[in-house]
Structure 1
């Protein structure tokens, strides 16, 4: 029996699930078809695991269950509208869904929020009971807030539910999509491998088809609280509670209390801002975390009472928008290091949206060698929201053997220096790269580009203006010297001209019978050591710029070398 078949049968048996032969509401599975689904888990692509899971779990379903399949990101890259219904909801679609999943070729974006919305609309969620099961290995990439969408669908739906299966997501990533389920009364289930995904899909499909018992008249029970712990938190004293505006990424943790009153062993965690739960009576140390802000306090849980402690995080929000120049889009390559009250917090890239402790906030924003440092005073409950203009431009640097003959070799080395020299004549290096088409983000100013290819080196001055790109070409005035020396053990290349002491300058060496070097145009002498150790022999060569200069040198016809 196929391994995944065994897994799903075991999962069904363990969960005690039996699909009843009664009418069930319509549902749509939304399967992630974005490019990241090619990532592997235990040597197997995520899309392959998902296909096998669908084939196994959906192989036996009630005849009257109407199930459909939708996917996204499977037809083209960069298109947030790439969403398609592959199988319309209908009875007996298990085999059709498995076949359609086998044809998905992941490649694009992750518009998971719009896909859930379209699935809900197809199910007529404002008129009938409806369920969407989302299987995703990534976060929303199309600028739609999944939490706000879930709240909207829950408010407009008759009885709408979304279950989210986070496939290969970290805990932090899971918290960012869990609200799609939690805000609609559904389940968020984490799956880190094929067995987890089988369990998760089996559980959610069973939720769709399970029978609902007919209500029986019963006397109204005496009101009893279904929880004994319901905390709240705010950024500032007297401020609104976190979660009242729809945000749900607040983390609650509770720990045992040590004999000395300090925080002891971790007991549990919840990720819902409006969390309420039941804890065994006793003493705890409770912690609230929101972004990079934290508050904790001791809490005592007693029987038949609801503890409602409030946590003041003493924090605010930092919104920064790094731009190369005024009017530019936010640069995703810009890095922002954030320190709060002298302690390192994090380094973010591109747009910065963080909750951080109130106080002195120091940030260092970098783009290439462009840098801006700022210090803010952030008050609890307040938001700092501003652009950071780095005043940078882009230099695109290439080298030519001669004008019009570009160097395409990856061994090309390019270094950028500030044009201004120090008192000792040196210049400050601000960037280094290899290969053609090297790009540098630089503050506005004057620079020198130095290109080096083997023994050929040249430099070109240039100027960068903020918000503009400049193309820089460095002309090496060089050619390629290609040598074939069958009897050589070692080879060294010298400039032909001797200095006043009679010495020649060495420019390259090697230990092969064939070698190739880029050299400035000019005359050279090749000195080879005979492979049998009988001595050295030499031959003159000439390198012409922009040409391949090929020479074959044999000991019998070359001159004997006595000195270099």
Structure 2
């Protein structure tokens, strides 16, 4: 109900200007333009209802009334400074206000206190009689104090009045803004449901105007010319892959621009998606339809009394791609789908994608791990392609164990996958890498070597991959864990115990501080502890056994 209430608020206030005694005064109408106005009531956007109400009621405003139009929240999301006097107070402003409301966006916050202050200043309220009419279905969201502002304006103004219409608000919420009207001698109108709004509208429209002062009876005015009935929507755009063809199943984004010398670079009027309908002021426009990478535009002339169905030819094809690792396998959401079409590339697609592309040559490439599949298609307008892309990979899951069948290594596990075949220099080409236990790799079929580093231990395991199958690669480290505690130590170096022919030992690893823990292959070692004081370095021989933990305390 709050949306409907807000959408007819303009009608109530404008019609009530006669009842409230606004005739021949300067009045600024302030319209709350928050983003909730895009919501629909019975399939019709609230903002459209508001626009139609303004357009209808403004026709009955006396020509000598000086009416202005202000809005807030209509240009920028989340801004408390988005306040604009769109139409200054002037006689005969009805058509300008209607046009402004028709082109307005509904986006932002509710700085109603600041808006009323700016409207009062625009009316020179300290010099002349002034009236502000505020239409809102929300409370102040920008830190203003409407009650205090009402007192300030009443005290400093010549004859200032603020009237407030609040819709869809609770009684407590209404009190928070009613004071703005009451403190200026104005009125607060509240309607909490559709019935109350309708009754308020009927009562305001039907309320008799104050009896005029006696005057000579004027000559009867000529009857107004009959006005053509307006339709609810006067533009219904549709997009097709080709003239007379199918509509795309992908989303279509429509934009409306004024048709002027600037073309689509001119004023942006409205937008919507898919089966959207528009109600626009009569005039000339450019309609732009975009779906995927395809785009079409069409000029159109609109009247208020006729619904125009506008077809736009995208001159495009639509492709649906499903990435699968193997024939008959499920779609893999990790597979990246790249679509290179005439004029650009779309890479942000994973698993499957439906996409509209311009006619011509399109190349689809799917990457899954180290696997790749691609296909080039020559596409014609209206063509629809639904295709499975088979990458042709199997999976390998890798784990490292301290001993065969023993405990799994869970930290500091680094994997590298190499092609099994060696090059002339004896090295192998690296295919991919990963970290951690249970690492999985998507690989083309073939023979590989899995290399693993767990701290100071390295090991390798050959394996083979078959398309569509999972291969468990379990690498045995034949290693244990060493933990050292040496109070006052500056660091450690670990060497193999056996010396080479020059009498030197091979360094295995090192660490800094008083404690260290590392993984070592089974064997004999020497721990050299360095101390921060004058205390001499200390050598500690020790033996590592596979699958065991060795704790050393060095004094």
Name the TM-score class by shorter chain: 0.5 to 0.7
Whether 1:269 aligns to 2:271 is yes
Secondary structure of the structure 1 residue equivalent to 2:418: strand
Shift of 1:463: 0.4
Question: In the alignment, what sits opposite 2:332?
Answer: 331
Q: In the TM superposition, what whole-angstrom CA distance separates every residue of 1:474-520 from its partner, at most 9, and x where no partner exists?
A: 11111111112223111111112223333322211112222111011
Which of residues 208, 225, 235 is equivalent to 1:229?
Answer: 235
For the residues of structure 1 that align with 2:433 and 2:285, how far apart are their CA atoms? 54
**Which position in structure 2 is the counterpart of 1:290?**
291
Tell me how many residue pairs correspond in the alignment. 367
Name the SS for the 1:402 alignment partner. Answer: coil
Deviation at 1:241, TM superposition (A): 5.1
> Unaligned regions of 5+ residues in structure 1, if any?
1-7, 18-130, 133-189, 214-220, 555-564
Judge which range, 451-460 or 486-495, deviates more. Answer: 486-495
Task: Report the Cα distance in structure 2 between the residues aligned to 1:474 and 1:254, rounded to whole angstroms.
Answer: 63
Other-structure match for 1:357: 358
Q: Output the CA distance in 1 between the equivalents of 2:398 and 2:471.
A: 9
Q: How does 1:283-322 map to 2 (within 5 A)?
A: 283-301=284-302, 308-322=309-323
Tell me the secondary structure at the aligned position of residue 421 of structure 1.
Answer: coil
Q: Counterpart of 1:540?
A: 541
Runs (4+) of structure 1 moved beyond 6 Å? 10-13, 190-193, 206-213
Instruction: Give 3-state SS (helix, strand or coil) of 1:420's partner.
Output: coil
- Picking from 252, 255, 258, the partner of 1:253 is 255
Structure 2: give runs of 5+ residues left out of the alignment.
Answer: 10-41, 44-105, 110-136, 140-166, 170-191, 200-226
Q: Does the CA contact (< 8 Å) of 2:257 and 2:263 recur in 1? A: no
Partner of 1:520: 521
The residue correspondences of 1:170-209 to structure 2 (distance < 5 A) are none
Cα contact 2:228–2:305 (8 A) shared by 1? no
1:238 maps to which residue?
244
Q: Taking structure 1 as reference, are residues 335 and 504 closer, same or farther at Cα in structure 2, changes over 3 Å only?
A: same
* Larger CA deviation: 449-458 vs 429-438: 429-438
- Given that 1:335 and 1:348 are in contact with CA atoms closer than 8 Å, whether structure 2 keeps it comes out as yes
Post-superposition Cα deviations, 1:156-204, rounded to whole Å, max 9, x if no partner, equal xxxxxxxxxxxxxxxxxxxxxxxxxxxxxxxxxx9999xxx999x969x
**Contact 2:250–2:291 at 8 Å: present in 1 too?**
no
SS in 2 for 1:406: coil
Separation (CA, whole Å) in 2 of partners of 1:453 and 1:299: 69
> How many Å separate the matches in 2 of 1:209 and 1:361?
58
CA 551–192 in structure 1, closer or farther in 2 if over 3 Å, else same: farther
What SS does the aligned partner of 1:236 have? Answer: coil
Residues 524 and 542, structure 1, Cα contact 8 Å, conserved in 2: yes
Q: Aligned residue for 1:104?
A: none
In the superposition, the TM-score normalised over structure 2's length comes to 0.58
Q: 1:545 to 1:351 in 2, by over 3 A?
A: same
| Cα deviation 1:62-103 (Å, max 9, x = unaligned) | xxxxxxxxxxxxxxxxxxxxxxxxxxxxxxxxxxxxxxxxxx
Kindly state the Cα deviation for residue 460 of structure 1 after the two structures are TM-superposed.
Answer: 0.3
In the superposition, relative to structure 1, how do residues 207 and 224 fare at CA in structure 2: closer, same or farther (>3 Å)?
Answer: same
Normalising by structure 1, we get a TM-score of 0.57
Alpha-carbon shift at residue 437 of structure 1 (Å) = 1.3
Q: Tell me the SS of whatever aligns to 1:333.
A: coil
Deviates more, 1:231-240 or 1:490-499: 231-240
- Partners in 2 of 1:406 and 1:313 — Cα distance? 61
**Could you give the per-residue CA deviations for residues 222-259 of structure 1, whole angstroms, max 9, x where no partner exists?**
775444433332111232456xxxx6942210224564
Match of 2:384 in 1: 383
Corresponding residue for residue 179 of structure 1 = none
Question: Which residue number corresponds to residue 97 of structure 1?
Answer: none
Q: Counterpart of 1:25?
A: none
Task: Give SS of 1:409's match.
Answer: coil
CA distance in 2, matches of 1:443, 1:198: 60
- Shift of residue 267, structure 1, vs aligned partner: 2.3
After TM superposition, list the pairs within 5 Å mapping 1:442-457 onto structure 2.
442-457=443-458
- Residues 16 and 257 (structure 1 numbering): CA distance in 2 closer, same or farther, change over 3 Å? closer
Match of 2:442 in 1: 441
Q: C-alpha separation between the residues in 1 aligned to 2:7 and 2:286?
A: 34
Query: What is the aligned partner in structure 2 of residue 407 from structure 1?
Result: 408
TM-superposed CA distance for 1:461, in Å, is: 0.3
In the aligned structure 1, how far is the partner of 2:256 from the partner of 2:350? 32
Name the structure 1 match of 2:461. Answer: 460
Change (3 A) 1:483 1:277: closer
Which protein is bigger by CA-based radius of gyration? 2
Q: Say which SS state the counterpart of residue 235 (structure 2) adopts.
A: coil
